[in-house]
Amino acid sequence: MDIESVLKLALKYGASEAEIYLLTSRAVSLKTSDKIISSSTSKVASLGIRAAVGKKVAVVGTQDISDEGIKKAVEAAVHIARASPEDPDWKGFNEKVESTSIEGLWDKETAEAGPEVLREVVDSALQAVFEGSKYSRPVRGSFTTSSSVIEIVNSYGGPVRGEGTSATMSINVKAVVDGREGTFNDFDASVSLKKLRFIQIASEASKKAPEFAKATRIRTSTYDVILDTLVASSIINVMLSPALSALNIQERRSPLKGKLMSEVLSPELIIEDVGTDPELVSSRNFDDEGYPINDKIVFDSGVLKTYLYDTYTAKKEGIESTGNAWRTYSSNPAPSPNHLVIKPGDSSLNEMISEVKEGVYVLRTIGEWLSNPVSGNLNATVTHAYLIRNGEIQGTCKGFVISGNFYRVFKDRVRLLSKEFRHSIRVSSPHMLLEKIKLAGE
Amino acid sequence: MNKALKHALGLGPQYVEVKAQEYVYEFVRVNNGVLKEYSKSNSAGIGVRVLYDGRLGFSSTNILEEEEILRSVEEAISAAKASEDRVEMVDREVRKDRKSSVLKEDPEEVPEEEKVKVVMEANNAARADEAIKSSTTYLGMLKDKRYLITSDGVDLEWSVVMTGLAQVSVAAEAGNMERVHDSKSRVAGWEFIRDSDWNSFTKGVSDLAKEALRAKQPPAGKLRVIADPDLIGLILHEAFGHASEGDLVGTGNSVLQGKVGNEIASPQVSIVDDGLVEGGYYIPYDDEGSPKVRTVIVDGGVLKHFLTSRVWANRLGMSVTGNGRAQDFKNPPIVRQTNLYMLAGEWSKEEMIRELREGLYLTGRGAGGGEVDPSAGTFTFSVGPSRIVRNGELGELVKGTIVSGYILETLKGVEAVGKDTIIKTSVFGGCGKDGQLVRVGYGGPHVMIKAITVGGR
């Protein structure tokens, strides 16, 4: 499809300016229990048309990409824009449509992998679970390779074209020890299939699951808490990603409003928004409005240095976009982090554990996404944790709730960051030792 | 579709399913009196599932040219060859049918100006109080039409239209902020939007946000509680519904495995899954072409049946319940809930509060959903601003928080079931599993529970 001709069509129908976004994606996915139980492929093209008539704006997305389907979508976009009231803050589309040069976002082998290629990877991962522990077996998993092409053009520039691939896996393991059941789950994501750590992830999950067959409950009290890299990443993502969005700042839904250049988090925390590292699956050449990607420090020793902007929110304040627009093909873009990277500390995980007199090392939680990023109320239910007494791990525990105000905890209670570090999908973090955290248990 | 079916049959599979979908979603968002988004999406595509050499494979495309569709059919066969799982599919009633949800006024035909006006007015009504710093109002409308033909003679077409409105209000005062959201959706056309009092609805959300701003956190720990119908629906969906899905049971991912015939809940508890219940989403057929039958999962506390697709019905030795659902044409069917809810009991809400004496009255309004580990039986979900119960009466408001527990302990701990069942669904979200999101309904009556873990101060 020629997106420049779609742009011309929008202007012909009466748009004063327009933007065309085309996403073409292909995916292969295998689902597993203790073997491969389903296999599917998909190929989908999705077209987004944003049209402005003066300060009236609308977006129409279509996956009907026949000539007639495209024509109808363009007509609808211009028609809805005309029928809408003006947005007084509208100041036009992105005027810097450019691509940042980043090598390594696309891998040929991953892009071309069919179900048979992926099957070999999955078989190896399942075998690693069986070999990891005599008590464990894989009960559920998902393995996917995908490739995508994004093309963007608007009235001011482009087209730009960016290609990317990804390989992702998740695995759930169950162990039965003396009639009691323990579980563990883990995942990995990479730009290429060959970098996916499928054997290591599967093997370690297999070894961990039996440990949780004898997990105990803990009493409601205050404890020192070590957050695993993935748990820390998930909490940071849930609480900070919406709060950093300039849209939420401008629409007064963020507790970070008015806090620029203030010490919001612990001085231990240096957090960068990274979009150019080819090791991260979220990296890309340009954002979803075609603005070139860049990296920037968001928190420097706990001080908030910048909000994250797309074109709309940036133009409203008369500044440059930070290249943080994200969208689906049928929605307006909105600013969100590309990938928050929390700078590791100097302690090892073992040193952290030895520092804890009475506490827990939290490996997995569920429901942290139910926390409230507006009020800052943090809640997460712990499903897998180690009990720590006098600096040593003393067994496993589960079924308690971490709660508190995120900003109080992450400003005043962060004691140590580990040098061990792990990439997650949109956040990368070290382990964190937090002091005096209220845990609701028995 | 017929060409795809014919092409597939020529490649030697035992069974072929070809589905097509046309989907329209319209979305309007107004923040603080300004239209911030008017978006509309259309999608159309085709999905092919084959049973080849005893193995299932699926492929989809929205490039609706003959060559591409035939390529997709061949990819479904390749996908089947990569599967290691030999399956058998239980026979089901083969139907030829056309069905659609009740619709008086097609929302797509309503002028855009009228839709924006409703949202603008509702948004303004919610921000009359100066404590409300942010008022965001959403209007959502969907039309989902599905077609399915199979090599064993199924020929179905069914469609659903749903509309709804949502409000998010943020109140702020003296450095504190509180957010409350709520939504109302119905399987209906524009008539549902036109005939509802949205201004009162959005103002009510703002009033609650303002009140919650000054509320304290509830006490933390294990508490005796009453959950309202909204919340009990969420608890059941997350804590029990997922564990009753046949694929999770059959792969060792459910705490309900091996428990059919056992008393797994209080004798007051009966739970059903029904595709056609008032207030829920409209699901006359699943995406395998099976009629969605009303399934009694728990009867008087005893586990009776799991939710099944054709494959999992065979493996579990149960009947097909019509729960093989797919998000869209891009995905194969997997076992999903439809509208899962608890049947009414005999208690009034007031009797229950008197009986509770000391504890919490937990509400679902403003709650944010939940999550479960069905294999371990742990669940967690958020509750909206709730009330302390003291001396058998409702007391002060406490902030929304999360609660957690263990599925079977919670259901066994049900001490009273109300007589007021309410079922809800949503045009703004749905239930996620294996990367697929489907619309569901949930609900129940007021329920008193012996002990649940509350995350608070």
What is the structure's pLDDT at B375? 77
Report d(CA A361, CA A231) in Å as an integer: 10
Residue A321 corresponds to which tokens in the numbers above?
């976009």
What is the structure's pLDDT at A82? 93
**Cα→Cα distances B255→A257, A418, B231, B262, B313, Å:** 45, 36, 22, 12, 18
Query: In the structure, what pLDDT confidence band is assigned to residue B399 with cuts at 50, 70 and 90?
Result: confident
B337, B241 contact by CB (below 8 A)? yes
Mark which residues 34-73 of B lie under 8 Å from A by CB: 34-45, 56-64, 68, 72
Query: In the structure, what pLDDT confidence band is assigned to residue B7 with cuts at 50, 70 and 90?
Result: confident
> Is A288 a residue whose pLDDT tops 70?
yes
Are B370 and A370 within 8 A, CB to CB?
Answer: yes
Structural domain boundaries in chain A: 3-210, 215-442
Number of neighbouring beta carbons within 10 Å of residue A328: 16
What is the per-residue pLDDT across A89-126, written as a single tens digit (0 to 9) for each? Answer: 999 999 999 999 999 999 999 999 999 999 999 999 99
What is the structure's pLDDT at B457? 62
What number of C-beta contacts closer than 8 Å exist between A and B?
281
Report d(CA A293, CA A58) in Å as an integer: 25
Most confident of the following: A34-38, B178-182, B298-302, B407-411:
B298-302
B370-379, B381-390, B395-404: which range is least confident on average?
B370-379
What is the structure's pLDDT at B219? 84
Report d(CA A142, CA B296) in Å as an integer: 31
User: What is the CATH superfamily name and number for domain A3-210?
Assistant: PmbA/TldD superfamily (3.30.2290.10)
What is the structure's pLDDT at B282? 98
What is the per-residue pLDDT across B285-296, written as a single tens digit (0 to 9) for each? Answer: 999 999 998 999
Name which of B31, B128, B120 is nearest A313 in CA terms.
Answer: B31
Of A119, A140, A442, the CB nearest to B82: A119
Give burial (CB, 10 Å; 0-12/13-18/19+) of B93.
exposed
What percent of chain B is predicted at pLDDT more than 90? 75
Are A252 and B133 within 8 A, CB to CB?
Answer: yes
The shortest C-alpha distance from B246 to chain A (Å) reads: 13
Query: In the structure, what pLDDT confidence band is assigned to residue B235 with cuts at 50, 70 and 90?
Result: confident
As a whole number, mean pLDDT of residues B346-370 equals 91
* Rg value, chain A, Cα: 24
What is the structure's pLDDT at A318? 97
Q: Answer with the residue of higher pLDDT: A274 or A252.
A: A274
The shortest C-alpha distance from B103 to chain A (Å) reads: 23
Report d(CA B373, CA B433) in Å as an integer: 12
User: What is the CATH superfamily name and number for domain B2-213?
Assistant: PmbA/TldD superfamily (3.30.2290.10)
Structural domain boundaries in chain B: 2-213, 221-455
Report d(CA A255, CA A373) in Å as an integer: 8
What is the structure's pLDDT at B456? 64
Cα-to-chain-centroid distance, residue B254: 19
What is the per-residue pLDDT across A295-321, written as a single tens digit (0 to 9) for each? Answer: 999 999 999 999 999 999 999 999 999
Number of neighbouring beta carbons within 10 Å of residue B154: 19
What is the per-residue pLDDT across B112-132, written as a single tens digit (0 to 9) for each? Answer: 999 999 999 999 999 999 999
What is the structure's pLDDT at B386? 93
B83 interaction partners in chain A (CB closer than 8 Å)? 30, 36-39
Mutant choice from B43, B114, B120, B129 vs A, greatest count of A C-beta within 10 A: B43
Number of neighbouring beta carbons within 10 Å of residue B37: 18
Cα-to-chain-centroid distance, residue A88: 32
Are B453 and A39 within 8 A, CB to CB?
Answer: no
Query: In the structure, what pLDDT confidence band is assigned to residue A377 with cuts at 50, 70 and 90?
Result: confident
Are B60 and A44 within 8 A, CB to CB?
Answer: yes
What is the structure's pLDDT at A403? 85
Residue B349 corresponds to which tokens in the numbers above?
């809400």
What is the structure's pLDDT at A429? 97
B347: left (phi over 0), alpha (psi -120 to 50) or beta: beta
B368 interaction partners in chain A (CB closer than 8 Å)? 369-370, 372
What is the structure's pLDDT at A144? 96
What is the structure's pLDDT at A426? 93
> Is A1 a residue whose pLDDT tops 90?
no
The residues, any chain, with a CB within 8 Å of residue B401's CB and separated by 6 or more, are A377, A379, A403, B217, B218, B382, B383, B386, B454, B455, B456
Tell me the one-letter amino acid at B292.
K
What is the structure's pLDDT at A137? 95
